[in-house]
Structure 1
Amino acid sequence: MTTATLERPVAAVTAVEAADALSIDLQFSTAHEMHEGLDNAVATLIEPATDAACGILVTRLHPGRFTVALDESVPFGKTYESIAA
C-alpha cells in the first residue's frame, strides 16, 4: 500500500514561501513501492523547487515512512537524503 498526501496546500503560495510549504508524506509496504513512490515524489517537487530556487530533502522517518520536501538548506538542483534520529 502506498500513501501520499500533501501536508499543506500549495495554492496561493509564493516561490519564496514554497520552500517551507510543500512536502509529501509517504508510507510504503514493499521496496518496489518505495523506489517508485520516492522517484515520483521527487519528480513532483522538481518544478516547485525550480520556482523556489532550492533543493529537495528526502527524510526517512522510520522503515517504510518518508517525507519528501523542498528545503532551502539543500542547494538548488540537488536532492539530499536524511534519516530522522
Structure 2
Amino acid sequence: MAAVAAVEAAAYLSINLQFSTAHEMHEGLDNAVATLIEPAKEAACGILVTRLRPGRFTVALDESVPFGETYESIAA
C-alpha cells in the first residue's frame, strides 16, 4: 500500500511517497508528478524526483531544475 504525505509552504511543495510494489511505485510517482505540474508552472521551476531508499521517494518543486523539466536523483 502506498503512503503519501504532502508538505506545502510559500513557494515550496513536496510529496513524500512510500511503496511496497513496483506497480504502486510507477503509478504513485506518475500521479505525484502530475499533481505538481500546475504548481511548477506557477513557480516557473521544474520537478525533482529523489529516491531516498528502496520504496521511498520525494517528489518536489525544485528551482535548480529548469521549468518544464523533471529530473531524477538518488540520495546518497
TM range (shorter): over 0.9
- The alignment covers a number of residue pairs equal to 76
Normalized per residue, which structure has more strand?
A: 2
Runs of 4+ in structure 1 deviating by more than 6 angstroms, as ranges, are none
Partners of 2:29 and 2:6 in 1: CA distance? 14
- Which has more radius of gyration? 1
Match in the other structure for 1:41 = 32
Percent of paired sites with the same residue: 80
Match in the other structure for 1:57 = 48
Normalized per residue, which structure has more helix?
A: 1
Q: Which amino acid aligns with 2:14?
A: S
Match in the other structure for 1:2 = 2
Partners of 2:65 and 2:44 in 1: CA distance? 10
TM-score w.r.t. length of structure 1:
0.86
Match of 2:19 among 28, 35, 39: 28
Partners of 2:6 and 2:41 in 1: CA distance? 18
Task: Give the 3-state SS of the residue equivalent to 2:36 in structure 1.
Answer: helix
Partners of 1:51 and 1:61 in 2: CA distance? 26
Shift of 1:56: 0.0
